[in-house]
């Protein structure tokens, strides 16, 4: 989309209205845990997922069901649902994660070179920042911008988080604070190269614009401010002059306001990956304890365990089939 000066007002109004929705599913936690305790242990988890989907659709309040197909539209950039369940159970957390991800129309993509489903402090993770399985800070970014297939949505479910380290959300409106009209116009012509990080074995690259317009989803942003320990900056401008604008965004990040998730058992988060950036502070965990945990081969005792999905919005494909 070629943006003209008279469109800047529309652009600003659109990005200024993006928001995070918080929902409390505590009224569902008892039915869910009651169903789970009665479920035969031999039930395959993929069948349990469909039973739980039916439970959600039967017992969810209409005002909450309303949001199942609104993510990425109506200026809803992220949804954080709390108190879905209370017991620390990996199997239950996984089934809840898969059921809600499907209800929000997320088609999970599993790349063969990436173990993306479980997030926890992995061996040698204390030496890394900007990695989901690491100990250090994760800088604001959108996922998988180097891939050929776009990930529309990202979801996270907290099985446990004894470290109380929430996911945080940064809005483009704040990252672009202080940009004049000419600088905003330049964003629509700016091309950058995105580079994969530690999660990918071998480097992957993709060149793309950092802002696009989509008739169904509105203005979409492609930004990644992470700096990998090995490969360096994950977002590199093709035009050296554009480096000034990226540095201006980086400077804004240091004082940007942000929204936080609730980092406790039973929280589900889903974000429109190209509407809002997500990040995390350094894990709230003593360094020596983190070293001890990351030396273990299994994640059963890890203090922070999340499930993750990321992929395309199935609803877009559905709308295409409808013609």
Reported as a pLDDT band with limits 50, 70 and 90, residue 220 is very high
Domains in the chain: boundaries: 5-314
Q: What is the pTM of this model?
A: 0.93
**Per mean pLDDT, which of 176-190, 199-213, 226-240 is the most reliable?**
176-190
284-295 pLDDT, tens digit per residue, is: 999 999 988 887
Lowest mean pLDDT among 173-182, 205-214, 299-308: 299-308
Secondary structure string (H, E, C) spanning the chain: CCCCHHHHHHHHHHHHCCEEEEEECHHHHHHHHHHHHHCCCCCCHHHHHHHHHHHHHHHCCHHHHHHHHCCCCCCEEEEEEECCCCCCCHHHHHHHHHHHHHHCCEEECCCCCCCCCEECCCCCHHHCCCCCCCCCCEEEECCCCCCCCCCCEEEEEEEEECCCCCEEEECHHHHCCCCCHHHHHHHCCCEEEEECCCCCCCCCEEEEECEEEECCCEEEECCECCEECCCEECEEECCHHHHHHHHHHHHHHCCCCCEECCCCCCCEEEEECCCCEEEECCCCCCHHHHHHHHCCCCCCCCCEEEEEEEEEEHHHHHHHHHC
Say if residue 319's pLDDT is above 70. Answer: no
The mean pLDDT value for 260-267 works out to: 97
**Regarding the domain delimited by 5-314, which CATH topology (the fold level of the hierarchy) does it fall under?**
Double-stranded beta-helix (3.60.130)
């Amino acid at each position: 989309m070629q943006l003209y000066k008279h469109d800047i007002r529309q652009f600003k109004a659109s990005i200024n209205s993006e928001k995070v929705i918080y929902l409390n599913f505590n009224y569902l936690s008892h039915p869910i845990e009651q169903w789970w305790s009665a479920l035969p242990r031999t039930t395959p988890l993929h069948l349990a997922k469909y039973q739980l989907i039916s439970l959600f659709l039967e017992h969810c309040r209409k005002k909450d069901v309303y949001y199942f197909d609104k993510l990425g539209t109506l200026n809803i950039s992220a949804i954080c649902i709390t108190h879905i369940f209370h017991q620390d159970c990996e199997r239950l957390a996984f089934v809840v994660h898969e059921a809600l991800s499907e209800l929000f129309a997320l088609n999970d993509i599993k790349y063969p070179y990436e173990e993306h489903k479980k997030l926890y402090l992995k061996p040698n993770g204390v030496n890394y920042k900007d990695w989901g399985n690491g100990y250090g800070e994760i800088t604001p970014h959108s996922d998988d911008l180097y891939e050929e297939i776009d990930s529309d949505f990202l979801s996270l479910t907290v099985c446990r988080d004894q470290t109380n380290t929430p996911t945080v959300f940064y809005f483009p409106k704040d990252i672009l604070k202080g940009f004049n009209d000419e600088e905003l116009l330049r964003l629509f012509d700016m091309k950058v190269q995105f580079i994969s990080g530690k999660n990918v074995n071998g480097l992957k690259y993709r060149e793309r614009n950092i802002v696009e317009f989509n008739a169904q989803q509105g203005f979409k942003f492609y930004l990644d401010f992470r700096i990998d320990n090995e490969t360096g900056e994950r977002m590199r401008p093709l035009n050296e002059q554009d480096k000034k604008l990226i540095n201006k965004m980086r400077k804004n990040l240091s004082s940007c306001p942000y929204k936080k998730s609730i980092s406790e058992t039973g929280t589900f988060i889903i974000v429109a990956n190209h509407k809002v950036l997500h990040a995390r502070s350094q894990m709230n965990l003593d360094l020596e304890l983190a070293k001890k945990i990351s030396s273990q081969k299994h994640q059963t005792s890890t203090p922070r365990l999340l499930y993750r999905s990321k992929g395309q919005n199935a609803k877009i494909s559905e709308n295409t089939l409808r013609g």
